[in-house]
Structure 1
Amino acid sequence: MSGTSTTQTRGEELAPVTTEDLTALLVGGERPPRPSALSASLTFGWRAVLKIKHVPEQLFDVTAFPIMMVLMYTYLFGGALAGSTTAYLQFVLPGILVMSVVMITMYTGVSVNTDIEKGVFDRFRTLPIWRPAPMVGYLLGDVLRYTVASAVMMTVGLVMGFRPAGGVVGVLAGVALLLVFSFCFSWAWTMFGLMLRSEKSVMGVSMMVLFPLAFLSNIFVDPATMPGWLQAFVNNNPVSHLTSAVRVLMDGGWPPTEIAWTLGWGAALTAVFGTITMRLYNRK
């Protein structure tokens, strides 16, 4: 026999409710299907975009910072290094574009660490979704930030006199390569976001890594003028390969070696730091 239960409200006896009635009410509909890996990742990516919408100050580093960098380096060092600011702008703008986007990748780790401190990750771990989806969502959301930074940088450069010989196709190819590398590079900061205890620690470690990669490269000057021991590091720096590839693509060329090195570094960064990130995420 099925069990029954009765309830009373203000002394009035209600109709008995059977177990079968409760079961039919609670599980009467079909269980919704489990979201796919792509769907879950895009959902978390949209969450990152909504955070930017509600806190637009987050776009300060992808708007004001690139403008300041282009103006400062072009007009401070252009005449001394290249003889004219216009000539130096053709050389340095792709490099500053790379540096600006690569530098802001560290905020991925800051966002991860902030959500951990708020306890949001505990909720993510209980959801029946593809396990890497929250991490991939962070990276997809930040790709929008990288795209905004690139658009701002190119607009300012064109106003200042930058004229890429590769035209629209060359610029889009260079920016696309930069976005792919930045997506891969951001996995390093998700690892630090999970490992370190505070967002200040994440920013401190990130800057300690990013500054040597950015400034010990071919972004600002030709490595041929550097000492031999420094050239060995600069020529094997992944940021140097990326900068050379973007520079040649925007100039209308096609550098297969530099593109291969850039994509190879990106794949290696994803394989190493992506694996460590997911192990830390599963154990956090």
Structure 2
Amino acid sequence: MPATLTADTVAGSRERTAARASVALGPATATLARQKILAAVRSGDAFFAFFSPVVFFLCFYVPLHRQFELGGADYAQFLTPIILLQAGLFTAITATETAGHDARAGVHERMMSLPIPRVAPFLGRMAWVLTRMLLALAGGLVIGYSLDFRFHGSIADTVVFMALVVVFGLALSMLTDAVGTLARNSVSIASILMIPQLILVMASTGLVPAGAFPDWAQPFVRNQPMSVFADTLRGLAAGTGPELTAALIWSVCLLAAGWAAIVSAGRAQVNR
């Protein structure tokens, strides 16, 4: 009898494993991504993703462009990269709230009981993050182009420009998705994240050159990630063949940290 029970248990385990894997990763991710995107459209988040770069662009451009352009520079060309990077920061903050909402609503537990790969819910959320970044990129470029921002480099420079913007937002969103998944109050966490977002944007070369800051602050301003990405994006837009090493290193490190955070959050959920 014990042997029979053991065999039945093993058979049942195999059946559950087979049932769990009965929906392939691609279709499961596509279905969950579609649900997230439709929910974002209904809630207005998709609208906000497109138009928020427009609003922030005008908020910075209107008061600063006259002073900046006295030196003969085009402020729209200078400003557009940081607006797109700021959109990545806001996307990451939104990802915290989305993951936290799913956790509070018991979505993770329900997903774990379905016959889909465990990584599918995360990939579904990241599909919306990717869509949101593309919407923000489109909004930022529309307002930038209307105020004389232009790509003067090659097609390859333009592609790398857009890829860096998307990777920046995606990597940060992976980190914040993990935080939101485990946090008891993701809304509060998202509010707290607004503070470093503001510091990183204001204390960067995104709005004004590093020389406009006090001497003691300039090393931080020049070397923090927002400045590194903004300067690289400006070089790509200008077609001047900028040094990509620092931006690529930051991209790889952020992606690696994001993936490690997601893996740790997934293991913590399983152990709950």
Instruction: State the TM-score bracket (shorter-chain normalisation).
Output: 0.7 to 0.9
Gaps of 5+ in 2: 1-14
Deviations 1:153-207 (A, max 9, x none): 1111111222221265533321111111211111221122123223421321221
What is the aligned counterpart of 2:249 among 261, 268, 275? Answer: 261
Q: Is the 8 Å Cα contact of residues 143 and 179 (structure 1) preserved in structure 2?
A: yes
Provide the rounded CA distance (Å) in 1 between the counterparts of 2:56 and 2:137: 13
Aligned to 1:35: 23
**Offset of 1:76 from its aligned partner?**
0.7
Provide the rounded CA distance (Å) in 2 between the counterparts of 1:209 and 1:276: 23
Provide the rounded CA distance (Å) in 1 between the counterparts of 2:79 and 2:51: 18
Are 2:224 and 1:232 aligned?
A: no
Aligned to 2:79: 92
Which of structures 1 and 2 has the larger relative contact order (alpha carbons within 8 angstroms, sep 6+)? Answer: 2
Q: Is the 8 Å Cα contact of residues 78 and 85 (structure 1) preserved in structure 2?
A: no
Provide the rounded CA distance (Å) in 2 between the counterparts of 1:32 and 1:128: 3
Q: Give the direction of change, closer, same or farther, for the CA distance of 1:155–1:86 in structure 2 (3 Å limit).
A: farther
**Offset of 1:123 from its aligned partner?**
0.4
Aligned to 1:176: 163
What is the aligned counterpart of 1:273 among 252, 261, 267? Answer: 261
The one-letter code matched in structure 2 to 1:50 is L
TM-score, structure 2 normalization: 0.82
Q: Give the direction of change, closer, same or farther, for the CA distance of 1:240–1:42 in structure 2 (3 Å limit).
A: farther
Are 2:220 and 1:223 aligned?
A: no
Q: Is the 8 Å Cα contact of residues 79 and 85 (structure 1) preserved in structure 2?
A: no
State which structure, 1 or 2, has the greater radius of gyration over its C-alpha atoms. Answer: 1
Deviations 1:27-86 (A, max 9, x none): 9xx97963344443333222211212333x112322332111112211210112332797
**Offset of 1:280 from its aligned partner?**
3.0
Q: Give the direction of change, closer, same or farther, for the CA distance of 1:75–1:199 in structure 2 (3 Å limit).
A: same
Aligned to 1:71: 58
TM-score, structure 1 normalization: 0.79
Aligned to 1:189: 176
Aligned to 1:49: 37
Provide the rounded CA distance (Å) in 2 between the counterparts of 1:32 and 1:261: 38
**Offset of 1:130 from its aligned partner?**
2.3
Q: Is the 8 Å Cα contact of residues 61 and 104 (structure 1) preserved in structure 2?
A: no
The one-letter code matched in structure 1 to 2:249 is W
Look up the SS of the partner of 1:163 in the other structure: coil
